[in-house]
Every structure is written in C-alpha cells, then in structure tokens.
Structure 1
Amino acid sequence: MEKIFNFKGELIRLSQLTLLYRKREANMKQFIIGFEKICKDDVNIAGGKGANLGEMTKAGIPVPEGVVLTAQAYECYMKDNGIDQASMNADAIRKAILEGEIPSAICEEVTMFYHSLGAGAQVAVRSSATAEDLEDASFAGQQETYLNVSNDKELLDKIKQCYSSLWGDRAVTYRHRQGYDHQKVSLAVVIQRMVKSDCAGVIFTANTSGNANEILINASYGLGEAVVSGLVTPDEYLCGRSGEVLRVTIGSKKEQIVYGMQGTKTVTVPENLRSIQVLTEGEIQTLVKKSMEIEVHYGHPMDIEWAFAEGSLYILQARSITTTSTQHEELGDEDFKGLPPVKIAKGKMRETLLFNLEKTPMAYYPLDHDFAGMVGKQKSVLMEEAGIDMSSGEYPVNEDGIIFMPSYTIKLTKNIIHILSFIKQLKNHNENSRLGEDALTECRKEFQKIQKLPVGNTQEAGYVLEQMKEMIGKTAYYRFRYALFPSAFAGIFLNRQLKKVDSKFTSFDLLGGLSYVTTDLSRELYQMAAMISKDGAIQELVLKHDYATVIAHNTQLKDMFDVFLKKYGSKSDYNCYCFIAKSWVEDPDRFLMVLRPILRNGQKAELSAEEGMKKYKDLLNRLKKISGDKNFQKAESLIKAFRSYHVIRESSQYLWETEFLYCRKILTTCAKLLQCEMTELYYLFADELFEICKRGTLTEDDRKTIRRRKEKRPLAEGYWNKQMMDALGNKNGQITGISGSTGQARGPVCIVNGPEEFDKLQPGDILVCAHTDPEWTSLFGIAAGIIVDTGGSLSHAAIVAREYGIPAVLAVGTATKQLKDGERVLVDGTKGQVFHI
C-alpha cells in the first residue's frame, strides 16, 4: 500500500504530492533546481559541489537523487535579513545568519521538495560554495555537511547552519590564504537522498604519492565520512588503470560511522571484519571502471567519493585533483629534450646539494624563486667579499619558470686579497656575537616600519613587496655573517676539544639550556599537551576534530590556542618558502597535526630548560678538568659566542618566516586590487610583479605569460624531480648518508610525507622523510631513529635528533624512494648508513 502522511493538515498520497510538487515547480521562483538541470559550468548557481553532482547526473553516472538550493537563495536570505557582509566581521555575520528567518518562498520550495521524497526521508545537507572544487583550488571541507537529516524543520535549520559555515574561521582563513574575495563567494546547498552504505571511501584516479598511472582506493565500512575525516585507518588498494590490483594494505578499521536516531554515530567494527578486505575483486573492478569513465568525462585525474549500498555503486562526489606534484611521472625523456642533463653529485657537492634541498624540497614558482632565493643569495654576497665567486651555487631559472641545478663551480675574484681579513673577522667571536644581536634588533625595527606603510592601492602594495624582498635578504645576510659562518669556525675548534672528553660529543652538545624561539615553542607545546591530556573529553575533541570545531566547542582551548598562535603562529611548513608556504596562523589545522602525536603518545619534552642547563654545565666541568684552566678560558669564551650564534640563527629563521607571512598578506591584497587569483601571481618574477603594481593592471600580455608558465608547470616540476634523482642517483642500492646523530636503532620503516601523515608514526618506528622543520619536532619523541633524504649536520633534523638522543642518518637522497613502509632496518647514525635486517 502506498505511504501517506500529513502535510499542511491534509492527508495526501505520495504520488499526489509528487504530482503537486511538479505542477507547482513551474510557478515557483525556482530557488531549487534538480541535479538533472545542472552542469559543471553552473558553479555560480549551484556551487562547485552542486555543479559537479549535476554534471555527473547528466552524464549518466550513478549519483543519489537530489536538488540544489541555489546561491540566489543565499543572497535572498542575506538581503531579507538585512545582513551586510561587507560591513560586518565574520563573527557578527555568523550570529546574524543563525538568528535570521528563512524567507517563506524558500521555505515553501524546500519543504515541498523534501516531502516529495516520502515520509521521514533521510537526506544529506551539504554546503556548496561558489568558489569550491575549482580546477585550480579545492575548497572542499571548508564549509559544513550534515548527514541523516530526517524532518523538514531540521532541514531548514541545517540550511541556516550551512550558510553560517561560509563565515566560519576555517573557511574565512582558507579564502584569505588563497586570495579569494570574501564578497564574491556565495553558497548553494545540496539536498540529497542519503545512501545507507555498507562500505565507502575515496578513489584517486592518479596516485598522488607515486606513479600517476596508478589508481589509489581507500575503503572502510559504513559511511564514507570515516575515511574522509581520518577517523579510521582504511584498506588501501593500489590498482592499474584496467582494474588489476597491484597491492593491498589491510587497514585496522576499528570503527565505522553509521546512521543514528539523528545525524550519525560511531560504532565499533566487529573483530572478524577488521582483518579482511572491505572490497571484493568484483567491487574493485566496478569502482575502477566507473572512476575511469568519470576521468574521461572530465578530461583529467579526479578525486572521487563513492559508496556501495546493497551491491550497487553510488558516486557521492567528484572533484579535480588539484595537486600537480606527481605529473612528472607521466613525462618521458622526449619531454625533457633540450634541457641540460645532470651528472651525479659526489662528495662535498652531494652534501651541499642535500643540505640546500632541506629548504627547497620542490621546484620554486617564479615569484618564490626571486623572494625565497634572496636567502641563499646572501651566501654568494658574503663569499664575494672574500674574493670567492660562488654565484654558481644559486639556482638559475628560464623564462618558462623552469629551474636548473646549480653548477657549484668556484672562481676567484680580485677581492681575494681581502680573504685573510675576512677570516679574521669571522673569528672575532665576541665582536660577531655582539654585532649579530644588534643586527637582529635592527632588522626587527625595520620590519616594523615596513608593516606600517600604506597598501591602499597597487602602487603602495608593490612598493611594500619590494621593501620586503630587500628585508628578507638583509635578515639572511646578517644571519650568515654574524651567526652561521662564524659558528662554523668556532665549531671546528670546539669539536676538537670535546673529542678529548668523549668521542661521541660534538659542539652541538654545548647548546643545552638555551632559550630561543624553537626550544621555547617546543616546550610550551608539550606543556599545553600535558594540560589538555588531563581531561579525556577535551583530549578527544582535539584528537578527532578540526581546529574550527575545537575552538567553537571549548572557549578555554580557544583562549589557550590564541595565546600560543599569537606568539608562534608564523611557524611555517617550508622554512625558506615565501608564497606557497602555510603558517600555523594561516592554517591552524597544521598546528593541531603537530599537537596530536604528543597527545596520542603521552610524550615528555626532550629536556626542560633546567635539565638542559644542568647537562650543559656538567659537560663544561668535564671539559675544564681535561683542558686545564688556561686552555679552558679560551674555550669558555668561544662556547659563549657559539651559543649566542645558535640563538641568532634560530631567531633570524623565525623572523624571516614572519616576514614571508607578511609578504603573503600583501600579495593577497595585490591580487584583490588586480582582480585576479593570488595563485596566478606566483607565475610572475618579482620585477614583473613590481612593474604590474606600478601600472595598476594586468594586461593581456601579462595574462598570456601567466598562462604559458602555468602550462609549463608540470614540466618544471617533472624536470626538477628528474634533476634531483639524476644528481642523487644511487645505482648500487646502498643507503648511505652522513651522520646527523650517533648511535644505532632497529625498527620498521614509516615513511611520512607531511603533517597530514603524522598519525602514521608509531612508537619504535624508524621515521623516513624527505625533510623536516620545527613542525616535525613532536615525532622525534616517538621514533626510534631518523632517516632523511636531505639536510646536514646543521639541519633541523640533526639538532633535534641529538637533543632526543636518537640516531639519525641525513642527506641520503633517495631513502623515501628506496624504502617501503614496514621494512625493518638498522639505522647506524655513527657511520651514516642504513641496512636492511
């Protein structure tokens, strides 16, 4: 018998209501549009998510039925409720939206559609921003999604919450970082029948961490949110493009998300299901075949969310894969024709290359080349003062934005007559220490003055960027001149003295007990973790939810995080990157990724300031006994300067990260004034950008240049990776580097590609990665040993490994390519070698 239900006081059969809905649809203002009437070009109407769902529906792809409440409905809502987003801050906008009333015309359409689905229909309510899931940027996850909504009152409430989420901290921060104009972004809402999935997950039609011709599937039980949110460790299936399974990794799958009475709930997966494959061979074949159809339809690799329910496959979402980091895998020798070949780097050249790669782990964009390149350039400037031309150590770049390996050839100039006086200056340690501290103070004051300059038009913004470029160079020059170069000379003498005490000691053992930004940040992070871990509910909140949700649910955490990020928020993922870096204050979810391993493993900080100082003084006493009073006086003075150099080094590092953060802020302003996306400006060289800012507009020639370099970007990335692999080629399969921290450790390999994978590392694992920076410090308390592709004895990984007392092998070059997760290895930090066991 056909179901009946009460609607506006009348008892109406389902078929009658559906007919009524369709008849009235023609007379409505049409705030609601069915998927079948939407295509991928309708982003301004349906938002990115809605446009994609409509496109796939029209293409015959199995998408659960649904409609889009258009962006025009959002604009109507804002207008009817008198919400002026141009004159209000985000907090005020969110509050006004949640307190507003949905106009009756919108209410009627939404309610009519919902009731047409049948009594108690379960629907998903998904935000769909008009700047979402675009070809060049993914806004996915920046607004809210609500699942298992099962009555019309709740549906209307969730629509308001979706509107509000457009102005959430996470979404506003993301748009700001990407250079999108807040006033140009609107929100549509997808209302879609829920699929009660038996299993679900995501599929990438190009493996973003390997061969782009491979397909990667993640799958788990229940709803796909468990996989997307990172709640579970899913199964991973690596497949060929014809569906053949190349590798299966069974995930733990301890929990799954299912429907609750309202919304969803997390339940435990039965033990017998955890150790078996979620997907059958047939389901994998079906999924791969359908994903290939979707890729062909869109014409490029796709990130697809899917679900199986009662044996049928449903596609829940598809978006472009916005990362191009692996596109070089598809390039062959023919693509690199005309570009110079690279010889294998050996000895000191190899060490120099790998040390530099810690700061430049990927190909620069043209604008990054000119700004971040100011850092490395200062080494050449300093050496030229001593009569040594080392400009060949800088990375050349051509008109297409393709960067070449430096030659590292050395030439002498007429200034060589000054080399002895230059070395004498570098050895004047008391004077260098004093001048270094004065120079750092000078840089901070100058930076503060620049921050007060106006940026109301392109001319002013461009001028500020010019000043910042010089400011970055000046900060780096002082860092090399008064810290790094003198420190190298001091370290030679101190190493010799310390070997008399114990062969395992190096000059870095003399840095205990110091207070500077890196150690202070680390200690405060551990103190914060200790406070959070005292309350199980608060700890669970931080471990399982994103930053915006965490601070929205706990004001105490919000206040604590605000204080911490105000102090250390400039810390970024690439120490020497300028525009593509992300600092904690710009992307606070990265900050949580650093905090979580500490909470999860209950670590203690490496040493307190007091413990570090005691260890340092004990070493001084041992050195004094062996050296005698006279020799120790010289060593003690040198040690004081050496410690000062390290503070200057770390403080200047953080200062230029703060300077880069300000550059990104000004570039965002430039993009807004020039009416373009900030990412487009990455493809300009600094002088080109400055000229455009003086002119005040982007010409068609400028846009052609940007398009040309954007098209060449996959080649630039591919050639960069080819150069690195050719230069670091290790044909005999040996894994050899340099000693970063002495000792030995055995354990299973865990390859970590970035903060998003920090949760992979388990106590006792051998951490293997391409590079590290202060974001990675919390992992050193978990790992038994460290293997790093890049770096040197002065690198972050070396210093922190020594502080934690774990062995480290650095400058390996290709460990992340040669080793596999789970392999057991011996890390010999003393010899700088890695062995399979």
Structure 2
Amino acid sequence: MAETLVAPLRAFGRDDLALAGGKGANLGELVRAGFPVPDGFVVTTRAYDQAASELDARLFDAAATSGDGSAVREAFATVAISTELRTAISRAYEELGGGPVAVRSSATAEDLPGAAFAGLQGTVLNVVGEEALVDAVRRCWGSLWTDRAIAYRHKRDLDSAGVRMAVVVQRMVSAETAGVLFTANPVSGERGEIVVDASSGLGEAVVSGAVTPDHYVLDAEGRLKRWTPGRREVVIRALPEGGVQRVEGEASADPTPLPAAVLGELAGLGTRIAAHFGRPQDIEWAHADGRVWVLQARPMTALPPPPIPLSSVQRTLGRTLLEYVPVRPYPLDMSTWVPYGPVGQMARIVRSLGFRVGPSDVFQEEDGVVVRLVPVSPRPTFDLVAAPFRLARRALGYDPQRWMDDPRVTRLLKENDALTKLDLAALPWRRLMRVPREALALVEPVGDVRLDYFPRAILSLGRLLALLVVLRRTKLVGDLLLGVFNKTTESIRALRELADEVRADPALAEAFATREPAALVEALSDDPTFARFGEKVRAFLAEYGHRETETPILVTPGTWVEAPETVLGLVKVLAQPAGANGDGGAGEVLKDASDGYQRAVEEILTHPRLRSETRRARVRRWIDAARVGLAFREDTHFYFTKPLPVLRRSLLEIGRRLSEAGVLREATDVFHLRLEELEAIRTMPPPTSDAVRLRALVRARSAKRDELAGVPLLNPMLVYGDSAPDGDALVTGLPAVGGRVTGTVKVVRDPSEFGKLESGDVLVCPYTNPAWTPLFQRAAAVVVDTGGPTSHAAIMAREYGLPTVMGTRNGTTVLSDGQRVTVDGHAGRVTPAAAKEPASAA
C-alpha cells in the first residue's frame, strides 16, 4: 500500500492514517465493518507528495512561518498531474460509475481525538466529469494550506511540514434530509442520549451553520425525548449538471419531525459506530430514497464528562466552586498552589474537624488535565469523635485578636521578603529550582495559624447568632457585621486615596478619563509629569500587589503586581464623579455601613433583656469578638497569599529558560507541566531525551485543554437547574441582596475590563473575588453568572446595599453593554427597563 496513489475505500482501516488521512481511514474502517457508507476511493497522501514535489519548497516554509498560505493554494490550483496519477483517478472514477461524486479532504492531522479540523479544509460536492474531479482534488490539496488550517496547526503545535493530504471521493448522495448525529449529548455530556440535527437537502447547510436545523434528542433506543423545529433558512441541493444550488427560505408553516423509523435507524447506527470505535462519535449522515447513509465519522471533541447527580450540600458547594474556579487549572496549578494554597488549607481544616476530603476529590483529571470539578460531601472518620476536644483546646489557647503577634506570621513575612528580593534571572538552575518549594513551604505555617485561631473565631460568630436567636433579632446579624475593617477594606481605602489624587490633579484626571488602563501603565512609567503618582502606585503594589486577579486558588492567572492595569482600571472607576453617566450613582444606592452597624448595636443594647450595664458590656464584647473573627478570615487570606507573586515569577523564569533552550515554544507553556516533572530536569539545557519527553507532554496536554475549552468545569445546570427565565425576565437567578434598581448594563468579564464600569452601571460579571470589591462602590446593582447568597459577591454587595442576583448561569451572554434593565434582588430577576423608567433603588 505504501506506493499506492489511488485505492478503494475498503482497502483502508483505522490504522492507515498516514496514507488515507483521518477521514479516509475512518470511512474505510466503517466500510470494512459493514456500515452503509457510499462507495468510493482515496487519492492517497503519496499522490499529494508527488504533486507537492512539483512546487517550490520555499512556498511551504514561507506559509508555515507567516501563516499566509495563499501562494501554496494558488500553486496547487494549477499543479501538473502526472500521467500515472491521472490514469489511476480516471480508472477509479470509471469503476465508481462515473456519476456525480463528493470530494472531501482527508488530512493526516484531521478527524482525530482533540484535533477535528472541522470545516477548515476543503469539500467539493456534486462533482461531475473527470476534469472537474481532478480540479476538485487539487482544491482539496490546496485547502491543507488555508490560513485557518495553518493557524489551527500552530495552535496545536503540529508541524505543518509533517502533515499530508489525502482526498476521499465517494458517490454523491442527493439527500432529501441530512445532518449531523452525536452519540452523546454535546451540551450535558449525557452518554445515554443521542442528539440529531437535521434539515432538508444536503447536510452542508447544517455542517456550515447556514441553517437552524431541526434538533432531536433521543434516548439510547432511538425514542424521541425532545424535538425543536428548525427554520430551514437555506436548503442546498445538487444540480443535475454538477455543483450545488442554495435555495433561500423553504420554511414550512407546519414542520413535521423525521419519521420514528428514520430516527431509530440513526440511533442504531450511531450506537454501533460509537461501540466500534470505542468512544462517542460525531457522524454526518444523509437520508435518500428510504435509506440512511453514513458520510463521515470522527471522535467527538469538547465533550463534557458524563453528568453526575448532586445532593443539596454538593449543589451549595458547587456555587462556591463555580465562583472561585472561573478558569481551568493547569497541571502546574495542581502540583503547586492547589494542594498548598486555599483549597489545600480548606481541606486541612475539614480534616481537622474529623472528615476525609482532599483536593484530588474536587478536581478530576484525565491525561494530566483537569476535566471537571466535583463538589464533594466530606466523609466522617473516627477522628470526628475527638474533634470537639481539639477545637475546644484551640479555642481556649488562641485568641484571634492577637494572631498577628504569632511568630509564625512574623517568620512568613520575613522569609517571603527575602525570597521576593532574589534576582531570579541570575540564579543558577539548581538554585532556581528550589525557589518554588521554598515559596510553598511558607504557606503551611500560616495554614496552621488558621487552624489554631479559627475555632474561637467561629465560636464568637456562633455565640452572637445564638444571642440574636434568643433576643429574636436575627435580622440584625448582617448589619452587626457590616463595615468590618480588614485588609480588603484597607486596600479599598488606599485605592480611593489614589482616586482622590487623580481627581485633584487636572493632568491625571484627563489622562484617566481619556486613556485605557494599559495606556495609563505606560504613561506612569514614561511620562515625568506622572512620576510622583507612579511612585504611589508602586507603593500600593508593594503592599497589596499579591492580590489575585482572577482566582485565589490558582497560581497561573497572576496577581495585581504583574497586571498593574487592573489596579489602574479600579482607580479609573473610583475616580469618576458619582452619577457621571446620569443614571444616579452608587451614592444613591449605597448605605453607610458604619451607620447600619451603629443602629443595629443600639437596637440590641436597648433590648428589655439587657437592662444591666454588665450584660450590655458583655454583649458589646461578643459583637466585637464576632467582628474580629470575621476580619480574621479575610486577613489571614491576605497574608496567606503573600508568596503567590514570587512563586509565579519563579515558575515563569523556569519556563523562560526552557523556552530559550528550545524545549518550550514560550515561557507560559511551562503551565502544562507538573512541578515534579520540572524538578527532574537536572541540567540546563536538558538532555535531548528529556526535551523530547517534555515537549510531548506539553503538546498532548495543550491539545486536551484546547479540546475542553468550551466545556464548563461544572455544568451550571447541575447546580442551578435548567429552568428558563419566567415571564418578562431576561435572566433569573438566586436572590442575594434585596432591592430594585434600574440602570445600564456593563458586562465586565475579567479584571482587564474593570475600567469599563461607570458610576451607576449594573455590573454583570461571570464571577467575583476580593479584587472586584472596589467596583461595588460605583455599581448600582450586581448580576453574577455563578455563586450564591453566601458567596463573596453577595456578602460585599450586601455591605454596599446593592440589589444582587447570583447564579444566573448566562447573564454575561444574554445581557449586553448599554442595555437598560431593572434588577430585582428580592425576586432574583433581571427584566427590561420600561421605556421611561428612571434609575431607581428601593
């Protein structure tokens, strides 16, 4: 077979990728297994090599380097076809009957797990005549060099020089109905469901997205579970003389679904094909003259893991996970900050209470890549019996009011400062490789501090809640805990001071009003006019720059000190005058936390059961202790994350050196490796065998991550349900903070967009963390895709009195910038604003 230019489909099987390409190998395998595949032949990769040898080799090198393949495509369009190849194509075409055929590309890097190349390479339908067939083969060869295909190969780290193109030629099926079949639900991941998209005419209309297809969800036996009629905006039909015709708008006023017999046949074929290949399949099919044909089969990509049932406890935990893990962890996260950072420390706290749980229970991995989050239900152990005694001993011995005096905290700050001052670029390789472990070692003592001091903090909060239950004043708990001073509120005050400076300086005010945060960073570095303010920003970053930008539980997303534009975006927001956009500003909807706290204290202390001064003094101490406990949680997190910047910088320096040595394409590729895999590198540059192994790991894990790019770590429907918005609601979610506000939507998807928010806007975001808190001073309301009433966003929004809806799942996609909406925090609904409805709050 190695010398074959043209051969029948049946001559190939799944192992013939190098000669028949992905599509040809898969179709040949199906023919051999007896599936209904239109007869055909393959113009093999040897024919491509023969034609390519006629072209200037420099064209291919230039295209691979520049990403522009137009010269290669033009050259293939007129390339000379050898007599041997032309004769072989002619003979195969004649044996096929000489009628209309479908000509499809079949590259050696196509229709593979994690690399589908869907729609990136050529297909020519309803080809009639030998000369037209040869031209179609040339077009498919050239389609290997479309700009999109080159970019896709580069993204997947596939060497263009090593990719070849075969061409599949099959009898044309003039379909009455055609489409795509998935042997698992591509949205939910349910393996027991089959999804079929169908429309009239050739399946190209469905595959290309030119039509809204009929959508069927079947059970494994092919019984219809759900059907959504399509719109048939376009129908593509084969013409008798060759080529295809696009017919606009054949929508039926009364559409009918495919017959049950056809759906059953599709389901049966799909199930058998998936079983044959051993994994879920993406299948193109056609129905003509009462028969179903299989036109293509390839592994499903971007398929979510199978759904799992969640208990009420798991759903509650899932809301927190969705908020705190907005991005997929890398292998480097999983081997560094995840087991040592907040996730690992929370697992330690849970274990100290007598339960069994660990980070590996939450993050499920396949082939070294996190595929999903699983909210766990902690399992009790025998240690649960002794846990109350351990907690009592800690509660008696460790007072949260004095935790900053603990020598473990002093040691953390001193040793972290020493690590931060290291010139990482100048360190020898072996010394550099010790820095990540040294940074991680700083975390554990602070974790011990949290374990020791938390019991009294929790008891203080519990004692206050019990008091409020006895006094029947539980509604005051939120107000009593408002305005607690901690490192987060301290950083917000520091940001407000920077914003005050901006407002007071006309040059700064103009710069912040007219420039984006990235341009402001450049100006503060280069423009002497802003030198003094630049120094203040650097001082702010020296104190608070270790705060996370996206999530506190991963190291790969980075911190404020590496992204000063995030900080300047916050200053830009805070420097705006209240009500700048005419929508009423935050000042009209915020309530003063201090006043709310004082009113709540006064109401408690004037309770009839607290007549004596002794009792009132005791209750004051209890309230103060609860507030200290609340601040302790936030402040320990602040210090707990101090080693993050030096950890991240050391890992990136390792990546930079591996990139310089040619092991990685770029420094951030190091994220795809585990720390222990890096520690195994003893010399720089590493031996060739190590370099090859590491490159292969990065390539495989990168492809796996790319395949999962559109797959949520945790399906929000499992956590929030799948109910549609009711009535006139645009989106609905969980009521988190009461009140009703009308304002203008501003979608802020990540910290790089902080500067978009204007005073009085409705902040719509996918998640929040403490870094987002300053935005709440200018927002009129908050709408979040993830989280629940007890999440960070809800707690902070409650302090600012902002109507808040959590867990909308899709607020950032349904709502858009400039849209006027009304947010009802009591009902958990976001509705279109009435035409003349002014900004309001209640």
With normalisation by structure 2, the TM-score equals 0.55
Structure 1 pair 368/694, CA: closer, same or farther in 2 (3 Å)?
farther
Structure 2 counterpart of 1:556: 532
3-state SS of the aligned residue for 2:741?
strand
Equivalents in 2 of 1:727, 1:571: separation in Å? 28
Equivalents in 1 of 2:558, 2:574: separation in Å? 21
Pairs within 5 Å for 1:205-604: 335=300, 340-343=305-308, 345=310, 347-374=312-339, 375-391=342-358, 393-425=361-393, 428=396, 431-435=399-403, 438=406, 439-448=408-417, 450-451=419-420, 456-476=427-447, 478-479=449-450, 482-483=453-454, 487-495=457-465, 497=467, 504-507=475-478, 509-512=480-483, 514=485, 516-545=486-515, 546-551=519-524, 552-553=526-527, 554=529, 555-602=531-578
Structure 1 pair 476/824, CA: closer, same or farther in 2 (3 Å)?
farther
Structure having the higher Rg = 2
Structure 1 pair 689/806, CA: closer, same or farther in 2 (3 Å)?
same
* 2:593 and 2:799 in contact (8 A); partners too: no
Structure 1 pair 382/520, CA: closer, same or farther in 2 (3 Å)?
closer
CA drift of 1:751 comes to 2.6
CA drift of 1:709 comes to 0.6
Q: Cα RMSD over matched residues?
A: 4.5
CA drift of 1:594 comes to 1.5
Equivalents in 2 of 1:647, 1:414: separation in Å? 32
* 2:586 and 2:780 in contact (8 A); partners too: no
Unaligned runs of 5+ in 1: 1-36, 61-131, 138-210, 213-239, 247-329
Task: Note if 1:806 corresponds to 2:775.
Answer: no
CA drift of 1:42 comes to 7.2
Task: Note if 1:664 corresponds to 2:651.
Answer: no
Structure 1 counterpart of 2:781: 785
* 2:465 and 2:474 in contact (8 A); partners too: no
Structure 1 pair 244/340, CA: closer, same or farther in 2 (3 Å)?
closer
Structure 1 pair 341/694, CA: closer, same or farther in 2 (3 Å)?
farther
Q: Which amino acid aligns with 1:595?
A: V
Equivalents in 2 of 1:382, 1:549: separation in Å? 43
Q: Which moved more, 1:726-735 or 1:649-658?
A: 726-735
* 1:459 and 1:696 in contact (8 A); partners too: no
Q: Which amino acid aligns with 2:520?
A: Y
Q: Which amino acid aligns with 2:507?
A: A
Structure 1 pair 812/494, CA: closer, same or farther in 2 (3 Å)?
farther
Q: Which moved more, 1:737-746 or 1:678-687?
A: 737-746
Structure 1 pair 656/244, CA: closer, same or farther in 2 (3 Å)?
farther
Q: Which amino acid aligns with 1:444?
A: L
3-state SS of the aligned residue for 1:717?
coil
Equivalents in 2 of 1:748, 1:673: separation in Å? 47
Equivalents in 2 of 1:463, 1:779: separation in Å? 38
Structure 1 pair 787/59, CA: closer, same or farther in 2 (3 Å)?
same
Structure 1 counterpart of 2:667: 678
Equivalents in 2 of 1:582, 1:548: separation in Å? 17
Equivalents in 1 of 2:578, 2:298: separation in Å? 49
3-state SS of the aligned residue for 1:701?
helix
* 2:356 and 2:381 in contact (8 A); partners too: yes
Equivalents in 2 of 1:811, 1:383: separation in Å? 25
CA drift of 1:701 comes to 1.4
Structure 1 pair 773/411, CA: closer, same or farther in 2 (3 Å)?
closer
Structure 1 counterpart of 2:691: 699
Unaligned runs of 5+ in 2: 1-56, 75-150, 157-185, 188-205, 213-281, 284-296, 580-584, 834-842
* 2:482 and 2:596 in contact (8 A); partners too: no
Structure 1 pair 685/423, CA: closer, same or farther in 2 (3 Å)?
same
CA drift of 1:694 comes to 7.6
* 2:314 and 2:377 in contact (8 A); partners too: no
Pairs within 5 Å for 1:134-145: none
Equivalents in 2 of 1:832, 1:777: separation in Å? 21
Structure 1 pair 694/353, CA: closer, same or farther in 2 (3 Å)?
farther
CA drift of 1:666 comes to 0.8
Structure 1 pair 540/597, CA: closer, same or farther in 2 (3 Å)?
same
Q: Which amino acid aligns with 2:601?
A: L
Task: Note if 1:640 corresponds to 2:616.
Answer: no
Q: CA-to-partner distance for each residue in 1:607-659, whole Å, 9 max, x for gaps?
A: 9xxx8656544533332222514544443333333332333333333334431
CA drift of 1:688 comes to 1.9
Structure 1 pair 428/356, CA: closer, same or farther in 2 (3 Å)?
farther
Structure 1 counterpart of 2:33: none
Percent pairwise identity: 24
Q: Which amino acid aligns with 1:691?
A: A
Structure 1 pair 43/490, CA: closer, same or farther in 2 (3 Å)?
farther
Structure 1 pair 605/812, CA: closer, same or farther in 2 (3 Å)?
closer
Q: CA-to-partner distance for each residue in 1:345-367, whole Å, 9 max, x for gaps?
A: 46332221111222211111111
Number of equivalences: 540
* 1:728 and 1:814 in contact (8 A); partners too: no
CA drift of 1:422 comes to 3.9
* 1:578 and 1:660 in contact (8 A); partners too: no
Equivalents in 1 of 2:154, 2:443: separation in Å? 32
Equivalents in 2 of 1:558, 1:434: separation in Å? 35
* 2:484 and 2:631 in contact (8 A); partners too: no
Q: 2:603 aligns with which of 601, 608, 622?
A: 622
Equivalents in 2 of 1:633, 1:575: separation in Å? 40
Q: Which amino acid aligns with 1:408?
A: V
Equivalents in 1 of 2:477, 2:457: separation in Å? 13
Equivalents in 1 of 2:826, 2:298: separation in Å? 39
Equivalents in 2 of 1:472, 1:457: separation in Å? 24
With normalisation by structure 1, the TM-score equals 0.56
Structure 1 pair 407/761, CA: closer, same or farther in 2 (3 Å)?
closer
3-state SS of the aligned residue for 1:541?
helix
* 2:458 and 2:629 in contact (8 A); partners too: no
Q: Which amino acid aligns with 1:396?
A: Q
CA drift of 1:685 comes to 1.9
CA drift of 1:756 comes to 3.6
Equivalents in 2 of 1:133, 1:343: separation in Å? 33
CA drift of 1:702 comes to 1.9
Q: Which moved more, 1:703-712 or 1:737-746?
A: 737-746
CA drift of 1:340 comes to 4.0
Q: CA-to-partner distance for each residue in 1:224-265, whole Å, 9 max, x for gaps?
A: xxxxxxxxxxxxxxxx9989899xxxxxxxxxxxxxxxxxxx
Q: CA-to-partner distance for each residue in 1:668-711, whole Å, 9 max, x for gaps?
A: 22224433432121011222222235887343212211111111
